[in-house]
Structure 1
């Protein structure tokens, strides 16, 4: 391909001095598990999310799993969520014996449709898990209000793609009972392997999460609760600390590149993602919807433009989950999006020339 889908090499070149120094510091002190960089990163991330607590964990998936464990999710308990997301969102529910309850998405944003949630609530509903898909937060005020009306149901934002985004001026991850993000390398803020973090203002939940991530230990060899091996490596924390140095610049670039894509694609026969006026989108993926997707993908491939499909099959149609979920509403929007979505190259280091190359190739493919 003539240009990368996500340009991690350019990012590293810009941050090489800082990242290398951070990694060298860990190699020098040798505290590879729960070293000082872990607490340093947690403090920095909590400040950015505006939360009292941040708990780093081994991955974004582990973040969701640990958060659900702190809520004492029991077999048969229900979690309302979207079918149009990566499998990690629901696999954590199923691993604990819970039942994913699917409601449909908004056709223009691809985010969970808050207006459909209330009708899906039952006495078994333990949590609501909206996904901030593609880097845009769901309507969290509406979702929190629904949860509050029904006895204070926990709300967990799956913010794997949206760290750095804002909703009504407030940061993603700091909008609900739990916020959970991922530092997978392709995310807006990524490490060089797996990593993730949890965010909350609740002292008891934070303490439970800290114990669960170290095998349920409240102190060494005192296992107060059932836990997992869920720590984030010190080296990966060091990488994220290095990347934080230009993260504000990267978010500004993502917003600008996303807006430029939106403007340049406005006249083409495709559907752009709608970004609500009261929030922004950090474009973890820049995604559009097209007819005849396979033909468009192949034409772009021939032109040297990489693409990806996020996501080609909704989770209620996946063999692992179709018998383990409850479909609370018809899901025509999720089904339609799965047939039509296509993601284009996107990263903070994407140049205008590269972006113009993508747009020109897409225009030709759609002609």
Structure 2
């Protein structure tokens, strides 16, 4: 039987009654769009983070896009971010009419190299978009200091970091606003698409609510300024409300899987060989994915096929090298660390309900393959 990188079915088997009850609750409510389930989830997700405002939207990409727009980012503005991320981060920047400006990442933790931000700031820079990648946070003190010095907005991309802490502060609480994805694979995942934006600013909250609803306030058909149709679905919101109460449990499960990998593989670590994830001082890691690296990554993946184990690469093609973004003028070699990592990183199976027997198979197979290199 193939071991999958991610699988929701074991979790669904445990939570099926609650998930189906959530669906029934919405269907019995008499309101299928922007009803009590969305309002309740917004209250509860904001409360979990200790911030006053949350706006639920239809997906994580639009959470970034609307978040940028609510912070005043528009056509011609520049947004500093990274290319070692999922393409939707940059799709959202472009969707807001802005121009992505890439800085490289750090080789040891794959996160934004904050020492490169200041050199990337121009007169057109409007915002910084740090990506809390793979499950832990960027150095937000450095980001915010530069933002304050230059009068820039900061929007955290928290799609992969639900519940992660950075020096005692939760991801999503250290900036002007923060965007989340609830795609099914996420640490807090829906049974379909979903997203949200957190903010402590009341005006930003009002702008987000208007932007997700065609540009209207509370009166239908009265558009105050152009917006979008980007509402979080009631069914997904109710499911997320139920799952939010279990978020800390999911994170504990992911950390248990990560620790088991450490026990199985740490003796193989070598600067020129296998390298396991590191957690930075002051951070907690929620292990959205468990990303390791090896200079012979492709040979390892090829050899693992015989073991019927599915692995993933997050991400094999840096965003700045994609043809869809070629007009921004980046060339191979522009971001050397990002490009090097793209040839070495790969993800082991990671989800809270991953059976220990399957994880043992993964560890044994990886050990076997590396021994033959």
Same fold (TM over 0.5): yes
> Are the equivalent residues in 2 in contact too, given 1:15–1:242 (CA < 8 A)?
no
Where does the alignment leave 5 or more consecutive residues of structure 2 unmatched?
Answer: none
SS in 1 for 2:54: strand
Q: Distance in 1 between matches of 2:82 and 2:234?
A: 33
Q: Deviations over 1:233-269 (max 9, x none)?
A: 1011111122223222111111222233234322223
> Displacement of 1:48 after TM fit?
1.3
Q: How many residues align?
A: 365
Instruction: From 282, 304, 319, give the equivalent of 2:308.
Output: 304
Residue 64 in structure 1 maps to residue 64 in structure 2: yes
Report 1:44-59 matches (<5 A). Answer: 44-59=44-59
SS in 2 for 1:323: helix
Report 1:212-291 matches (<5 A). Answer: 212-218=211-217, 219-268=219-268, 269-291=273-295
Residue 322 in structure 1 maps to residue 319 in structure 2: no
Match of 2:9 in 1: 9
> Displacement of 1:289 after TM fit?
0.8
Q: Distance in 1 between matches of 2:203 and 2:309?
A: 48
> Are the equivalent residues in 2 in contact too, given 1:100–1:326 (CA < 8 A)?
no
> Displacement of 1:294 after TM fit?
1.9
> Are the equivalent residues in 1 in contact too, given 2:45–2:244 (CA < 8 A)?
no
Instruction: From 322, 336, 343, give the equivalent of 2:347.
Output: 343
Match of 1:158 in 2: 157
Match of 1:366 in 2: 370
CA-atom RMSD in angstroms:
1.5
TM-score, normalization by structure 1: 0.96
> Are the equivalent residues in 1 in contact too, given 2:178–2:199 (CA < 8 A)?
yes
Q: Distance in 1 between matches of 2:350 and 2:74?
A: 39
Q: Which piece of structure 1 moves more, 293-302 or 105-114?
A: 293-302
CA shift in 2, pair 1:325/1:223, >3 Å = farther
> Are the equivalent residues in 2 in contact too, given 1:102–1:325 (CA < 8 A)?
no
Match of 1:209 in 2: 208
> Are the equivalent residues in 2 in contact too, given 1:57–1:213 (CA < 8 A)?
yes
Q: Distance in 2 between matches of 1:296 and 1:366?
A: 7
Q: Distance in 1 between matches of 2:318 and 2:297?
A: 16
CA shift in 2, pair 1:122/1:37, >3 Å = same
Q: Distance in 1 between matches of 2:80 and 2:359?
A: 37
Q: Distance in 2 between matches of 1:247 and 1:212?
A: 28
Q: Distance in 2 between matches of 1:37 and 1:131?
A: 28
> Displacement of 1:325 after TM fit?
5.6
CA shift in 2, pair 1:252/1:142, >3 Å = same
